[in-house]
Amino acid sequence: MAAEASRTSEARRDAVFGRWVVFSPARSRRPTDLKSHAPANPSPGAGAAAGAPKPSCPFCQGRESECAPEIFRVPAPPDASPWRIRVIENLYPALRRDAEPPAPEEAGEGEATPGECAVVGFGFHDVVIETPRHDVRLWDLDAAGVGDVLLAYARRVRQLMEHPAVKYVQVFKNHGASAGASMAHSHSQMLGTPFVPPSVTTRLNCMKEVFERLGKCSLCEFQSKDILVRETHNFSAIVPFAASYPFEIWIIPRQHSSYFHEIDKDTALDLGSLLRTMLAKLSKQLNDPPFNFMIHSAPFGVSSSCLPYTHWFLQIVPQLSLIGGFEIGSGCYINPVFPEDAAKILWELDC
């Protein structure tokens, strides 16, 4: 790729998170050579018959009694396993559902208290077990299977929305030990908080600024087809113009939509197909890297005036490098791969 070699560093500002990103191709070999070198995760099903429970895995079928309480399950056909998806409480929750919710003023509503403050750690921390089989990854499921996982997320978000103290739900998946996964069995998590996290507020403020300046939503149209990886009837998968991480992908609804939890079955099927394709492409191109994905949605109860610029999307971040002092100290990121190059590689990759 001669064009890559001739490029010089460039700084770009992201129009959603408001971050500056420095693109420095001199800090990397060719983008096609960029692979994960993280220690191998325990191979799903290694050393056991396909589908057999691992000795220490409570997420496998038949080990349900070893888990925290079940919230709901998605049943399987009668001739298959007892369930396809289980949503359970986290056995080691970051926030506790049995704690006393903070008063509205303590959670940041109304006039904020200046200086440091502390409140009781109330909230909901759930786990979504995406398959009963230990040897199956999320992108090994078919489109309908991934779509059902997405619908389980949405169902649980709607349940948490009914709690008057919950202001935001973060849906996320950690894949690989270095990405924060403590269990090899395919699963994702949800945290319902009694406050709107600061990064969410920053995102909405940045999108509001763009909307007021340009009269359009930051995510309703992207700047260049050169960053497009794949498009379906309902979604676009892109490498964002100012990607903070190499081979980062955003999956964005093509029609303006503020809330992920309003997704319907047909749209979930479309998104499931696209998500499994993007995860398969990253796995093939980057040597099954550790990754995180996060669903960025609007907080509950935002005013109707905010809806024209709030647009939900799913962000996939392969973990290919460590965050250093510059990133921590400045809030800026250094990415060795230009988004256009990453998008071209992923576009051409057959999966």
The answer for residues whose C-beta is within 8 angstroms of residue 17's C-beta and 6 or more apart is: 199, 202, 203, 206, 244
* Rounded CA separation 175/278 (Å): 14
Q: Is 311 annotated as a binding residue?
A: no
Which 8-state DSSP code applies to residue 32? G
Choice among 37, 125, 163, 187 that is catalytic: 187
- Residue 329 phi/psi, 5-degree rounding, is -75, -35
Q: Is 57 annotated as a binding residue?
A: yes
Please choose, from the candidates 15, 22, 165, the residue with its C-alpha nearest in 3D space to the C-alpha of residue 105.
Answer: 165
Residue 293, beta-bridge partner list: 173, 316
Q: Is 125 annotated as a binding residue?
A: no
- Residue 231 phi/psi, 5-degree rounding, is -135, 140
C-alpha count within 13 angstroms, C-beta hemisphere, residue 166: 21
Q: 78-84 contacts: CB < 8 A, separation 24 or more?
A: 81/132, 82/132, 83/132, 84/131, 84/132, 84/145, 84/148
Q: Which two tokens stand for residue 24?
A: 């420095």
Q: Map residue 295 onto helix, strand or coil.
A: strand
Q: Is 256 annotated as a binding residue?
A: no
Report, in angstroms and rounded to the nearest whole number, the Rg of the chain calculated over CA atoms: 21
Based on the residue annotation, tell me whether 256 is a catalytic residue of this protein. Answer: no
Q: 328-332 contacts: CB < 8 A, separation 24 or more?
A: 331/19, 331/20, 332/19, 332/20, 332/21, 332/22
The answer for residues whose C-beta is within 8 angstroms of residue 297's C-beta and 6 or more apart is: 157, 169, 171, 258, 259, 260, 261, 312
Residue ranges for the known binding site for Zn(2+) are: 57, 60, 134, 185
Annotated catalytic residues are 187
Residue ranges for the known binding site are: 57, 60, 134, 185
